[in-house]
Structure formats: structure tokens, C-alpha cells
């Protein structure tokens, strides 16, 4: 247990620290312009006229009516009554309309100055040097503590 505690303390003492860089940068500015433009484009819509029919019988004279959407026929029956029929013509009618089109344009303006990383050379501190040398001390201690196991393992492999 003492050996494990000693190894953990030596491992913590010999740990490395990351390299630090000196960076120089300037502030970037970003500007976004959004333009929303609405246009109305003339368009034509086809509307389907539904088929409708209607009948009516009256005691009167004959008649005939016709429009661009419907036809109407009337006749006198044998019993003296008037038979009248009305029917729409199946068709599609073009109706002019205006279609709304919305254009959204975004432009990103970025003013940027190059950012450079400048590495500064400096001497290692005494603590960093101690940690680097402490690694080899730790290796020697581990080999000394586990020397019997290492020798036994080496004999088995050879």
C-alpha cells in the first residue's frame, strides 16, 4: 500500500503542463443586411364552373335561353304543360389575379483582420525541469519496487 501511495505521489509530481501561446487578434465586426421586397405578378387562375341542372314545368309558351355558362330549353308537352330545362356548360374560366411574391435577401458583411499565433521562446521554469527529471526517477523507483516480478517475467519469456 505504501508503494502504491508513493507511486501516485510521484506520478502527480511529474505531471506535465500544456504549452501556452501568445495570441494577437483584433475585434471582428459582422453586419447583416436583410432586404425584404414584395412584388405582385399578374397571373391567371382557371376556375372550374360546376355542372348544375334544374327542371321546371309551367303552363305557358315556349322559350330558349343560352349564355356562355348555361343553356335553357323549354317545350310544350302533349298535355299542354311547358317543360323547361336549364344546364350549365362544363368549362374552366380564366380569371386574372395578382400573385404575391416575397423576396428575402440577406447580405453578410464581415470586416476581418488576420489573427496570428505567435510562439514566444522562453526557458523552462525550475518546476517544469523538476517534473521532467522526476519521470526518470519514477521509472527507477517502479523498476526497483517490482524487480522480482520483472525478473520472473523476463525468465518466462526467454
- Alpha helices in 47-146, H assignment, sequence order: 126-145
The whole-number pLDDT of residue 144 equals 92
Mean pLDDT, all residues of the chain: 79
Cα 141 from Cα 13, distance rounded (Å): 14
Q: Does residue 17 carry a pLDDT above 70?
A: no
To which H or E segment does residue 131 belong? helix 126-145
How far is residue 107's CA from residue 30's CA, in Å, rounded to a whole number? 11
Arithmetic mean of pLDDT, 124-135: 88
Interatomic CA distance for residues 133 and 152, integer angstroms: 29
Does the pLDDT of residue 22 top 60, yes or no? Answer: no
CB-based contact 81:56 (threshold 8 Å): no
Strand partners, 35: 105
What percentage of residues in the chain have a pLDDT greater than 70? 80
Partner residues linked to 37 by β-bridges: 103
Looking at residue 81, what DSSP letter applies? -
The rounded distance, in Å, linking the Cα atoms of 76 and 83 is 6
Residues 6+ apart with CB under 8 A from 45: 94, 95, 96, 97
The whole-model pTM stands at 0.29
Amino acid at each position: 500500500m505504501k508503494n502504491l501511495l508513493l507511486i501516485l505521489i510521484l506520478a502527480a509530481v511529474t505531471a506535465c503542463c500544456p504549452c501556452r501561446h501568445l495570441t494577437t487578434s483584433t475585434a471582428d465586426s459582422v453586419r447583416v443586411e436583410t432586404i425584404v421586397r414584395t412584388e405582385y405578378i399578374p397571373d391567371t387562375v382557371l376556375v372550374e364552373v360546376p355542372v348544375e341542372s334544374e327542371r321546371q314545368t309551367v303552363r305557358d309558351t315556349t322559350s330558349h335561353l343560352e349564355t356562355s355558362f348555361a343553356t335553357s330549353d323549354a317545350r310544350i308537352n302533349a298535355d299542354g304543360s311547358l317543360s323547361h330545362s336549364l344546364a350549365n356548360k362544363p368549362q374552366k374560366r380564366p380569371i386574372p389575379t395578382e400573385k404575391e411574391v416575397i423576396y428575402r435577401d440577406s447580405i453578410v458583411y464581415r470586416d476581418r483582420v488576420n489573427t496570428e499565433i505567435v510562439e514566444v521562446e522562453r526557458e523552462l521554469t525550475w518546476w517544469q525541469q523538476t517534473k521532467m527529471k522526476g519521470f526518470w526517477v519514477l521509472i527507477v523507483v517502479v523498476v526497483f519496487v517490482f524487480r522480482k516480478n520483472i525478473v520472473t517475467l523476463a525468465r518466462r519469456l526467454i
